[in-house]
Chains A and B, each alone.
Chain A
Amino acid sequence: MLVSDIDEHKKKKRPTLARQRHGLVLMAFTVLMAAFASAVLPAPALAAPPIADAGSDQIVEQYERVTFDGSGSTDDVGIVNYTWSFIYGDNVWQLYGEVNDSFYFIEMGNYTVTLNVTDGDGESSTDEMIVTVIKEKVNFIEDYWWSLPIIGATITAVVILWIVLYSGLDVVSVPTREKSRLLMHRFRYVSKQVVTHKMGAVGTAILGFFFALAVFGPLLAPYSVDPASDDVTELYLKPSPEHWMGTDSRGVDIYSQLLHGARTSIIVGIFAAIIASLMGAAIGLYSGYIGGWQDEVIMRVNDVILSIPWLVLMILLAAMVGEITLTLLIVIIGVTGWSGTARLVRAQVMSLRERMYVERARAIGSGDMHIINKHIMPNAFPLIFANTILTVAISILSEATLSFLRMRPVGTTTWGTMLSYAEQSSALQSGLYWWIIAPGLCIVFLVLGFTLLGHALDEVVNPRLRRR
């Protein structure tokens, strides 16, 4: 054996032995250190379970969207998941994910709201709170604001008419009186023409029926349409003497809903049409009278609005708003509906502007406002008015369509929302045919009434059409 080989041998053997002994020492050392560490040093942070905090109990009103804040929850590792669950009777809704989540309370009574938080180690904790939902308080100004201008205008009109026609006081000059007499005469003439016109008479009769329904319908309704009221009975009841058209998917009487729907449909139609017509008339008047580059700009904007399909525009606006109330619905329909009227008024104003009497008025030094007030508006107004009546019909249809596509106004009953619920809960399969047929027929006849009246008015005030 060579020396070097022996050395190799030694080198091979001894370190192995040494390592083994060393390993034993190391092991002992480690155990000792661990014992020492556990005895002397503070224990390493074991993950503590998170503490959930859902907030304190609340009382909210019906149809209110409440945002819950789970940010009070604490954990040392960090919370990765929040789960909110809302329990009402047998119904459970769960929302995953966010610290803040909002929930929309529809039913009256107690909801149990539970927040479950999970931390990074998979440990979780739960906190519970009670939300009591009370009946929505009716605020007269907020809910019936639309009636204030009508009441005001009616009182003013009655007072003015009384002063003008029946008082012998000198507050009214003779020419004014003569003018108002002529106005009355013209009004009588137009209404006589409309009523003797076949279409106009039918339209007026239909509208009379629906206006009566709008005023008295809710009083005639045998049951409440509030899904939270005591009148709610079994779901999907077939027509019976108690429930003439059965009950819907929420247990609400369908016939009562039908009677309630007339008012909202007419309100939506009329107010949306007024917004659309006012905007359209103002824009058309400006564009047609001023002309020039302003006209170009307005007409291009008008082209854009007319080119995007009408329904798409309304759906996008409605989606933008999120939660739709009746007022918002009226504004959406009104704001998207002005372009047709604007075009019509513009064309009319452009032709009126070139008339001889406008030229003459300008020659004797009349200002623009005077010409618009005295010469253009009186001639354009009948057309605008007839067009407004036709716009009402379109607005009613728009409301029904938007509601049907599940963009329905919250907390109100319209014929559109009835159809929407019917489609959503498959009325066809449950055999509740009236649920679909009745609201649809009501919409058709209401729209028909406005269309007939509008066409009749158009023919009376628009002499170009009369020869037909």
Chain B
Amino acid sequence: MSKSSMRKMLLRRGVNIIITIFGIMTLNFILVHAMPGDPILNMVPRDPKLDPAYKEALVDKFNLDASLPERYVTYLWNTITLDWGTSYMQDHREVVDIVFTDMRWTVLLIGTSTIITLILGMLIGAYGAYTRGGAFDMSSTALMLFFYGMPIFWFGLVLQMLFSTYPAGMDWWPQLPTGGYYDTVEHGSTFHWDFWLILSVLEHLILPSMTLAVGSLAGVAIVMRSSLLDVMSEDYILTARAKGLTDFQVLRLHAMPNGMPPMIALIALSLAFVIGGAYQIEYVFNYPGIGFRTLNAIWELDFPLLQFIVVIGGVAVVIANFLADIILIFIDPRIKIA
């Protein structure tokens, strides 16, 4: 690919990304402000003796009596100037501050589970393709299809059930924490770096990350298997075998690199799906991340917080897709620039 065409493509994609982000912001604004209910009713306590000036001050502060177009313009301008405002609730903390505090936990959850998913999924898919039609392939495909149709939150509930009881009276069965992010009774409610606290965090991470990993395992394994099968029927694999490479060498040197592009596209595309899964898991496991916060923000009509979370999620997906496209162009010379 020549340099100028590369530059042209990047420019085109960049413009598209800006348009998409603008679209996300607009749709986000419309959806959030179309919700029924008046946020001011949630913000002021329902006390008849309350000073009306307090309510007035809040309305003034959050510009709540402005018309919708006016608020939209303000919202766009504030976004461009990176002023995300303060939350309606949560003692009017900065939205950015709230989101980045919660984001640590969500990123930890998604990161851990994605690593587990990728390693397990690629191994299962590759071994399934390698022993095609065998017992392992059949049983793993059946299991993956089972996982594929499984509501993630339900698997979370089942795991909670399994690891909070002693099934069939087996008293050696391990018990795992089924909610929260660490033992706040023992370590206090503020996070600090402490060996036992980190250990507690990891212990609380086991069930949620396992759930999320298993929930998205099926997609990775199935795509890995089918893209490897696609590659294995190519002629150059036959050539490689003919020149005497072992099965492992064929897989490692010829099949895997050529089976990668669909995987990378899948990982980027499934980010939106994984974020959705994380929402369900945080709800089931009371895990105080972004998803938990979003559901609360919807119930409390906390518009600035909600807007910021949705925009951040959308932008993350857009950027992941863009990066995946760039990587694909670099590793797969067959891809032509559209």
Contact = CB atoms under 8 A, between A and B. Distances in A.
Given A316-B310, A405-B280, A451-B148, A419 B157 contact: yes
Contacts of B315: 307
A312 B310 CA distance: 8
Given A310-B272, A423-B157, A303 B149 contact: no
Interface stretch (B25-33, B60-68, B118-126, B240-248): B25-33
Contact of A444 (B35, B149, B318): B149
A307 B320 CA distance: 10
B35 A320 contact: yes
B206 interface: no
Interface stretch (B158-166, B186-194, B257-265, B328-336): B158-166
B233 A467 contact: yes
Interface string A313-350: 10111011010000000000000000000000000000
Given A436-B157, A436-B161, A451 B149 contact: yes
Interface stretch (A153-161, A362-370, A393-401): A393-401
Given A303-B16, A303-B318, A307-B314, A436 B154 contact: yes
Please classify how large the interface on chain B is, using the bins under 10, 10 to 19, 20 to 34, 35 or more: 35 or more
A445 interface: yes
A25 interface: no
Interface string B9-36: 0000000100110011001100110111
B16 A308 contact: no
Contacts of B233: 467-468
B112 interface: no
B24 A118 contact: no
Nearest to A404: B153
Contacts of B283: 405
B35 A118 contact: no
A68 interface: no
A96 interface: yes
A437 B146 contact: no
Contacts of A300: 16, 19-20, 23
Interface in B291-336: 294-295, 298, 310, 313-315, 317-318, 321
Contacts of B150: 440, 443-444, 447
Nearest to B153: A404
A307 B151 contact: no
Nearest to A433: B161
B276 interface: yes
Contacts of B148: 447-448, 451
A419 B151 CA distance: 11
Interface residues of A, number: 48
B288 to A, nearest CB: 17
Contacts of B295: 315, 405
A301 B23 contact: yes
A411 B241 CA distance: 63
Interface string A278-305: 0000000000000000000000110111
A404 B151 contact: yes
A96 B272 CA distance: 40
Contact of A440 (B32, B35, B154, B230): B154
B20 A304 contact: yes
A452 B146 CA distance: 10
Interface string B129-145: 00000000000000001
Contacts of B279: 309, 311-312, 315, 405
Contacts of A436: 154, 157-158, 161
B46 A97 contact: yes
Nearest to B164: A428
A437 B160 CA distance: 12
B200 interface: no
A306 interface: yes
A239 to B, nearest CB: 15
Nearest to B19: A300
B280 A320 contact: no
B197 interface: no
A448 B149 contact: yes
A311 B32 CA distance: 15
A468 B20 contact: no
Contact of B280 (A301, A311, A313): A311
B147 to A, nearest CB: 9
Contacts of B46: 96-97
B227 to A, nearest CB: 11
A433 B158 CA distance: 9
Contacts of B27: 304-305, 308
A447 B149 contact: yes
A447 B151 CA distance: 10
Contacts of A443: 149-151, 154
A165 interface: no
A264 interface: no
A80 interface: yes
Contacts of A193: none
Given A307-B317, A468-B230, A437 B158 contact: yes
Contacts of A445: 149
B196 to A, nearest CB: 27
A448 B31 contact: no
B207 to A, nearest CB: 13
Interface centre among B23, B35, B48, B164 (most CB of A within 10 A): B48
A81 interface: yes
B266 interface: no
Contacts of B146: 444, 448
B317 A309 contact: yes
Interface in A133-167: none
Contacts of A393: 149
B213 interface: no
Contact of A317 (B31, B276, B314, B321): B31
B273 interface: yes
Contacts of B149: 393, 397, 443-448, 451
A404 B145 CA distance: 22
B98 interface: no
A202 B328 CA distance: 37
A437 B155 CA distance: 9
Given A304-B23, A309-B275, A80 B48 contact: yes
A401 B280 contact: yes
Contacts of B165: 428
B36 A307 contact: no
7 contacts: A305-B27, A308-B317, A309-B314, A316-B31, A397-B149, A428-B157, A440-B158
Given A311-B279, A312-B276, 17 more contacts: A301-B23, A307-B321, A308-B317, A309-B313, A311-B275, A311-B276, A311-B277, A316-B310, A319-B35, A393-B149, A401-B151, A404-B280, A422-B157, A436-B154, A440-B158, A447-B149, A448-B148
Interface of A: 80-81, 96-97, 118, 300-301, 303-313, 315-317, 319-320, 322, 393, 397, 400-401, 404-405, 419, 422-423, 428, 433, 436-437, 440, 443-448, 451-452, 467-468
